[in-house]
Structure 1
Amino acid sequence: MATFSPAQISAMTGRTVVVTGANSGIGRAAARALAAKGACVVLAVRDPAKGHAAAATMTGDTVVRRLDLAGLSSVRAFAEEFTEPIDVLINNAGLMIPPLGRTADGFELQFGTNHLGHFALTNLLLPRIRRRVVTVSSNGHRTGTIDFDDLNWERRPYRAFAAYAQSKLANLLFTAELQRRLTEAGSPVRATAAHPGMAATGLLGHLDGEHPRLHRLRTAIISRFSQSEDDGALPTLYAAVADVPGGGYAGPGGFLQGRGAPKLVGRSRAARDDALARRLWTASEQLTGITFPLTATKATKR
């Protein structure tokens, strides 16, 4: 199997990369690798203090800017302040199976943050993006369904993993429809997606108060089958800089896509449903009030 490592990334001097959730986990690892290659990396984070702490571990040009994807006003403020061109946007930040919560705009926390926040951010920044939009999904998307009658879990009993799977399926449907629209607009920008496999990050840190036996079991499984955050970031980097087709989905090439060198991987039937992707896009526009900004005459040029 062919391998891919940060050493294979070409020099990125003069390019700007925005990474959401870059203060920890695979976002931090991806930001670190790209900054080391000469890119100006913008760490778009909810907590600037944590962002500066992460930036201090990196070599190269980094900028920390506040972005709370759980609030559309914060997303708009970030986009309005960002006037320079962006070469790559990496939609990495996300929540995984927290207790039921709501965003500032009343959306279920995982759907609102993982999908709607990035949907809004991408469309607001798109006129300034020159090369690629990478959105981080998960193998968990395979059990996901989109319940248009109750996207915000207001009528049915809340199931945290089902809500997570819905948001990760939404990430892939968003990528597919974004690429279709970019192609239709004549834009050279590519929309790609990635998943890290099973990476040892802090994404499940909120479960540390769980039953001790369950906590030990979870820790043992992660230790046995997961890969480091640096390895978990490789599919994201691959989707960001390799010659990946628009709409391509990268993940680990090992057993059950849990770990290993990144490659293009498959996705669920639902994630390949073009009609579902278009319906979700329309619903997302209605929920956020933000629409696709490009036309054939306004497409961003290289």
Structure 2
Amino acid sequence: MNRWTVADMPDMTGKTAIVTGANSGLGFVSTRELARRGARVVMAVRDERKGRQALADLRRQVPEGDLDLRLIDLADLDSVRAFAEGIQERIDVLMNNAGVMMPPRTLTKQGFELQFGANHLGHFALTGLLLERLADDGRVVTVSSDLHRRGRIHFDDLTGERGYSPMAFYAQSKYANVLFGLELDRRLRAAGSKIRSVLAHPGYSATNLQTSGPTGLFSLGGRIGNLLIAQSVDMGALDQLHAAVAPGVEGGQFIGPHRGMRGYPVVVQPVASAKDPELARRLWTLSEELTKVSPPTSALRTPPGDLAG
């Protein structure tokens, strides 16, 4: 097996990457390594104080890095629009990395369940708004989770009003990430675009995601798991970095650890139901309606039936 590491990353001089959730965990490591390879990295963060601290840390680690801190709240579609309007340059990599995990039931500013709203709808809208800014050979990397395998779309109760489980709705949001990433790939191919939509998941990696959102037993389990089971965040970030820059990566691929929850990046398979084009189109249409964002027809068109599978 080819044990791909950051040492295998190509030179990124002259390229621009956007990383959501760049101030911590997988996003911080991804930002650091992209900057080390010469990329200009737009650090898209929600919390300005934490973002400035991360920026200071990164400048100590990568003094030559070209870093640009900007604010975005993926749980607020107005913030997503404002961020997108501020991006005028060509984008080579859009890394949809940020996420929230298993909080108590919370609604976004626009009234969506927080995990579905931030993890899926916010990134759906951001991608749609920035699609025309992507380079001809650009990549959209959407970070999911192996927990997508437990997910389903609660079309009849998206806000969890009738029944909410932090785990189930986290799994729903990660399942939605996979449906979106694969449907984006279908539509890009149907449009004849060379932009690649790639998925990644980090396995079980020791990040603050497991402890900052969950409460009670979920939080305790996350802390214990981070200590005893998880791989390092540097290892976990390899999957999304591979998806973002490695030569030979194809649109529609899902990159994850070779040992399931740990290891080096390889192509993995999502749960079978996530490959259903009809389900993906249903979610896509709903996402357009909820976000009021429709990716430009100049870049995408709905795939005909013979291209949808």
Shorter-chain TM-score tier: over 0.9
Aligned residue number for residue 295 of structure 1: 298
Matches within 5 A, 1:126-145: 126-130=131-135, 131-145=138-152
1:44 aligns to 2:44 (yes or no) = yes
Alpha carbons 2:199, 2:252 under 8 Å: kept: yes
For residues 118-157 of structure 1, the aligned pairs below 5 Å read 118-130=123-135, 131-154=138-161, 156-157=162-163
Between the aligned partners of 1:16 and 1:264, the Cα distance in structure 2 is: 25
The Cα of 1:218 is off from its aligned counterpart by 4.2
Q: Which range moved further: 214-223 or 274-283?
A: 214-223
- Residue 270 of structure 1 and its aligned partner are, at CA, apart by 1.5
| Counterpart amino acid of residue 206 in structure 1 | S
- The Cα of 1:235 is off from its aligned counterpart by 0.3
Does residue 269 in structure 1 map to residue 276 in structure 2?
no
CA contact (8 A) 2:188 2:300 kept: no
1:231-275 deviation per Cα after TM superposition (whole angstroms, max 9, x unaligned): 110000011012211110000001xx1110010001101111111
* Structure-2 change in CA distance of 1:215 and 1:46 (3 Å): closer
Pairwise CA distance, 1:206: 3.2
Q: Which secondary structure does the structure 2 equivalent of 1:17 belong to?
A: strand
Q: How far apart, CA to CA, are the structure 2 residues paired with 1:74 and 1:205? A: 25
Q: Alpha-carbon deviations, 1:158-212, whole Å to 9, x = none?
A: 111100000000000000111111111221100001000000000022368636x
Residues in 2 aligned to 1:290 and 1:280: alpha-carbon distance in whole angstroms? 13
C-alpha displacement at 1:215, in angstroms?
Answer: 5.9
Q: 2:299 and 2:97 mapped to 1: Cα distance?
A: 28
Q: TM-score, normalised by structure 1?
A: 0.93
Q: Secondary structure at the match of 2:57?
A: coil
Q: 1:266 to 1:183 in 2, by over 3 A?
A: same
How is 1:170-249 mapped onto 2 (pairs within 5 angstroms)?
Answer: 170-206=176-212, 210=216, 218-242=222-246, 243-249=248-254
Report runs of 4+ in structure 1 exceeding 4 Å deviation.
Answer: 214-218
- 8 Å contact kept, 1:127–1:294: no
Q: Aligned AA for 1:175?
A: G
Which among 74, 85, 97 is matched to residue 69 of structure 1?
74
* Alignment correspondent of 1:159: 165
Alpha-carbon offset, residue 297 of structure 1 = 9.5
Give 3-state SS (helix, strand or coil) of 2:44's partner. strand
Q: Does 1:283 find its partner at 2:286?
A: yes
Q: Could you tell me how far 1:216 is from its partner in structure 2?
A: 5.7
Change (3 A) 1:99 1:264: same
Superposed, which structure 2 residues align to 1:48-59 within 5 Å? 48-58=48-58, 59=62
SS of the residue corresponding to residue 156 of structure 2 reads: coil
RMSD of Structure 2 on Structure 1 (CA): 1.7
- Cα distance, 1:152–1:271 mapped onto 2, change above 3 Å: same
Deviation at 1:217, TM superposition (A): 5.2
Determine the structure 1 residue equivalent to 2:255: 250
Of 156-165 and 114-123, deviating more is: 156-165
Instruction: Say if 1:234 and 1:262, in contact at 8 Å, map to a contact too.
Output: yes
Structure 1: which amino acid aligns with 2:228?
R
Instruction: Note if 1:20 corresponds to 2:15.
Output: no
Contact 1:225 1:258 survives alignment (8 Å): no
Structure 2, unpaired ranges of 5+: 302-309
Q: CA deviation at 1:296?
A: 6.1
Number of aligned residue pairs: 293
Identical counterparts, % of pairs? 53
Q: How far did residue 17 of structure 1 move?
A: 0.1
Question: How much has 1:63 moved relative to structure 2?
Answer: 0.4
For residues 279 and 286 of structure 2, what CA distance do their matches in structure 1 show? 11
2:11 partner SS = coil
1:96 pairs with 2:101? yes
